[in-house]
Amino acid sequence: MTRLDSSEPTLPVDGRGLSLAVVVARFNLEITQKLLTGCLGVLEVNGAPPPRVVWVPGAFELPVVAQRLAQTKKYDAVIVLGCVIRGETPHDRYICAETARGVGRVALDTGVPVVFGVLTTLDATQARARSGEGPGNKGAEAAGAALEMGRLMRTL
């Protein structure tokens, strides 16, 4: 087995044989593409087969697509990736709250782990810092959590 990321104090997780899906929001594409790159890198390093990747318009659409995928029972875990950056109005707070609530509900309703890899930042600088190369990439962290949860759920 390999490590999720040599700079992270995590246990090795064998991704071989796990079936994963990733739902990615196109809104703030510069950021979400980097989250996806980090995610896919961790999955590959840990031996997971290539996941199914589905794109949606924005963060608000992540839960419904995650639900559809989880309901198939084909996937050991579903990862959702997105980026919501605070603006001049409270719109971001509504999107973030409903997205988080929806993702949590999907996991509880289906019994399939749905890992929340949605950035909720104050500005673009914070978003770039959390989606760059290296151990701070939240897409990579989401992949690690999905591997661990997918493997754990198989043992329960």
Residue 74 tokens, joined: 């084909």
User: What is the model's pLDDT at position 7?
Assistant: 47
For residue range 79-105, list pLDDT tens digits in order.
Answer: 999 999 998 888 899 999 999 999 999
Query: Which residue would you say has higher pLDDT here, 2 or 138?
Result: 138
Task: Tell me the average pLDDT across 24-52.
Answer: 97
Q: Contact 59/27 with Cβ under 8 angstroms?
A: yes
Residue ranges of the domains in the chain? 51-146
pLDDT of residue 9: 44
Determine if the pTM surpasses 0.85: yes
By CB atoms closer than 10 A (0-12, 13-18, 19+), residue 1 is: exposed
Please provide the distance, in angstroms rounded to a whole number, between the alpha carbons at the two ends of the chain: 21
Question: What is the chain's mean pLDDT, rounded?
Answer: 93
Report d(CA 5, CA 43) in Å as an integer: 10
Rg (the chain; Cα; Å): 15
**Predicted local confidence at residue 135, as pLDDT:** 82
Catalytic residue IDs: 91
Pick 51-146's CATH classification: 3.40.50.960, 2.40.50.100, 3.50.50.60, 3.40.50.720. Answer: 3.40.50.960
